[in-house]
Amino acid sequence: ETAALLAHGTPRSLAVLDELGRGTATFDGAAIASAVLKELKTVGCPVLFATHYHPVSKKAVEDTAKVAPFHMAATVNNVTNEMTFLYKFLPGLCPASHGHNVAQIAGLPEK
């Protein structure tokens, strides 16, 4: 699907990509996500791009003329480490990674 988007996308397309590169080794996934995002800039279409690769997000926002970062808001109780999703779509990069909190919500063992 991503190859088709890159091959046939036009400025009138809308690209929606969620967690591109996930399921691969960390550096491989980040490289895939970064390369696709770079290519989509040349296509010139609007893109909704969700990623958990913080370095990819930080690199993407360097081009402020074309990229507007947003994130889903959450809060973490510092005493109980309990995470609450706020269901608010806020401007800016996500201020922190919540992987451990989400794993706890999913019931994964601490080890």
Q: For 46-64, how does the pLDDT look when each residue is reduced to its tens digit (9 = 90+)?
A: 989 888 888 888 888 887 6
66 pLDDT higher than 80: no
* Tokens found for residue 16: 């929606």
Q: What angle do CA 82, 23, 14 make, to 5 degrees?
A: 90
Tell me if 102 sits within 8 A of 94, measured CB to CB.
no
20 pLDDT higher than 80: yes
Residue 71 burial by Cβ neighbours in a 10 Å radius (0-12, 13-18, 19+): middle
Q: What local confidence, expressed as pLDDT, does residue 98 receive?
A: 84
Q: How many percent of the chain have pLDDT more than 70?
A: 98
pTM: 0.75
The number of CA neighbours under 13 Å toward the Cβ of 66 is 18
